[in-house]
Amino acid sequence: MSIHTISQSELPESGHSKKFEFDETSVLIAHVEGTYYAVAPECTHWHGPLDEGMICGHTVMCPWHHACFDLRDGKPQEPPALDALETYTTTLEGGDLIVDLTPQEKTSPKITAEKDLSMVIVGGGAAGQAAAEELRHCGFDGQIIILSETSAVPVDRPNLSKDYLAGNADPDWIPLRSPEWYEENAVEIRLNTAVTKIDTAQNRLQLSNGETLNYHKLLLATGGKPRQLDVPGHDLKGVFTLREWKDADAIMEACSSARKAAVIGSSFIGMEVAAALAGGHELQVTVISHDAIPFEKILGKEIGQMLQAEHEEHNVPFYLKADVAEFVGHDGKLTAVILKNGDKIPADLAVVGIGVQPNTDYLQDSGLNLGKDNSVLTTQFLQSSHADVFAAGDIVCWQDDNGENQRIEHWRVALQQGKTAARNMLGRQESILQHVPFFWTTQWDISLAYVGHASVWDEIVYHHGKPKDKTFVAYYLKEGQFQAAAAVNRDDDLLALEFLLQQGKSPTAAQLLDENFDIVAFAKEK
């Protein structure tokens, strides 16, 4: 029986949701100003519990990675979710709610594009995948080609340095889409294929296999490439960087015969790798970093000290304000890392995580405007200096409303930009500024989330605790203006904050300086 009745007394209040179990089917009932919506109760990204998220207007927000869905049709509004939620029909009868658990049919978009047009996407990462999907969602029925240097379809990259590297994630979870998805959606993906030259005058690409390829519109989404340590021994067996799926597999294979590991760099990749190797593979891990305090420039001194202390509590020591002089080995295999001060750290495995740089060498003779760091300069609509060429992801540098250049290396931002670029390739004028940056990191028992973007700040205001408590919200201010927030164990606060920012609103300095300010209640009012 697919028809079920929920009594009036059990229904959630307006602005809230509640999960119900009916036989083998679970459903989330959300109440929005007198109307009840029934949708699947789990996020389509990593099955996050939506009943623990937040209802803001007609949007339900996942508490884990802030994917957003429209309650009216289940469609994803913000990544990392790619698939829509199942939706069900509801009817009020005498105050009780009748729910028909037969999934509603999803409508297909109206086809608006010419079939002889070709959209080419250079890059097989998050931005490229999101763009291909959005082109189809928007009704484009022309040719879509993804050119990827890697040997695998686009993957859920954040997991590579977290659960997957620790051995806690099934390999089947890692691809964003199965190989069959590309065939079913008429998206041609060419793996192990690089672009060597772009002729913007002729709308033509030169490929690494010698072929040429013409395009109507072009999206550049080649992401970042790991920075290398150019020191003696960097090519020894046992020295790795982590960027692609195959890199994670190679590191895990090396773990089977390793006992001691060195992680070079206290970046998010480096610190997540340290936790994965020590916690998942029980290696003796040492972190070596040029920084005095991990994440001090990004998150502030206190949060950096909290994360460092968490690693040290798990027997991961740090060499800070330290630089690698060389990797040394025996018979071509790593045995130790030598620091510039002469210290020798035994290691039979090392992972270099010192950041990435734009992967744009192929653009040097393209005529496109590039930044000093070789990023692609675009408008806020992600259009490059050539009208038919767009860019998305780690390689993009755009101007914000204050005229300041911004480049954000976040995986979810790359997904947002891929979707936005796709729409603008079809002639829309959607600004990337309307999307809110969000990222997360998990290190041991600490999960930290971050909303907004603060390249610089002059004050941090803490609510609901301090970093030493491992429960807090940190608000970053510049000249009295809100920039960003980071939090541990305060999911609702960041969900509310992101909702406000999506509406173009943000808390004032006066509100943030008030210890009694309730941002969740404030967001509900808006």
Q: What is the pLDDT of residue 65?
A: 94
Query: Is 276 a domain residue?
Result: yes
481, 508 contact by CB (below 8 A): no
pLDDT (tens digit, 9 = 90+) per residue, 331-390?
999 999 999 999 999 999 999 999 999 999 999 999 999 999 999 999 999 999 999 999
**How far is C-alpha 345 from the chain's CA centre?**
33
Question: Given 354, 379, 407, which residue is the final one in a domain?
Answer: 354
Contacts of 63 (CB under 8 A, 6+ apart): 48, 49, 52, 53, 54, 491, 492, 495
- pLDDT score recorded for residue 522: 86
pLDDT at 113: 46
How many structural domains is the chain composed of? 4
| CA atoms 395, 401, 404, 408: torsion sign | negative
Tell me the pLDDT of the chain averaged across its residues: 94
Provide mean pLDDT across the span 313-330. 98
Give the pLDDT confidence of 9-19 residue by residue, as tens digits: 999 999 999 99
Strand extents, DSSP E, 217-323: 217-220, 224-226, 239-241, 260-264, 284-288, 318-319
Question: Is the bond leading into 80 cis (omega within 30 degrees of zero)?
Answer: yes
Query: Do 464 and 430 sit in the same domain of this protein?
Result: no
Q: How far apart are CA 148 and CA 152, in angstroms?
A: 8
Confidence of residue 399 (pLDDT cuts 50, 70, 90): confident
- Quickly state the pLDDT bin for 526 (edges 50, 70, 90): low
| Judgement on whether residues 298 and 339 belong to the same structural domain of the protein | yes
* 311, 382: one domain: no
Q: Please give the pLDDT value at position 111.
A: 46
The predicted model gives 146-169 an average pLDDT of: 95
Assess if residue 304 is contained within a domain. yes
Question: Global pTM?
Answer: 0.94
Does residue 258 register a pLDDT over 60? yes
Q: How far apart are CA 264 and CA 345, in angstroms?
A: 12
What local confidence, expressed as pLDDT, does residue 391 receive? 98
Q: Residue 110: what pLDDT?
A: 52
Q: Which two tokens stand for residue 146?
A: 């993804």
The answer on 126 and 180 residing in a single domain is yes
Residue pair 155/174 in contact by the 8 Å Cβ criterion:
yes
In a domain, 113, yes or no: no
How many percent of the chain have pLDDT more than 70? Answer: 98
Q: Residue 456: which CATH number?
A: 3.30.390.30
CB contact set of 313 (below 8 Å; sequence gap of 6+): 444
- Please compute the mean of the pLDDT values over residues 405-410 and round it to a whole number: 91
Q: Which is nearest to 52 in space by CA: 41, 44, 42, 63?
A: 63
- CATH assignment of the domain containing 32: 2.102.10.10
For residues 144-154, give the mean pLDDT.
Answer: 96
Amino acid identity at 44: T
Question: Under a CB-based contact definition with an 8 Å cutoff, are residues 219 and 121 in contact?
Answer: yes
- We report the CATH number of the domain holding residue 317 as 3.50.50.60
- In this structure, are 145 and 208 located in the same domain? yes
Question: Would you state the pLDDT for residue 389?
Answer: 98
Q: Please indicate, yes or no, if residue 250 is contained in any of the structural domains.
A: yes
Asked whether the beta carbons of 376 and 357 are under 8 A apart, the reply is no
Cα separation, 478 vs 472, whole angstroms: 20
How many C-beta atoms lie closer than 10 Å to residue 24's C-beta?
Answer: 6
Residue 258's nearest CA partner among 167, 348, 332 is: 348
Shared domain check, 418 and 343: no
Residue range(s) defining the domain that contains residue 32: 3-100
Amino acid at 209: N
Name the residue with higher pLDDT: 416 or 514.
Answer: 416
Residue identified by tokens 């978009």 is 109
Whether the Cβ atoms of residue 463 and residue 473 lie closer than 8 Å to each other: yes
Examine the pLDDT at 521 and tell me if it is beyond 90: no
425 pLDDT higher than 90: yes
Does the CA dihedral 247-249-250-255 come out positive or negative? positive
User: Is pLDDT at 142 greater than 60 in this prediction?
Assistant: yes
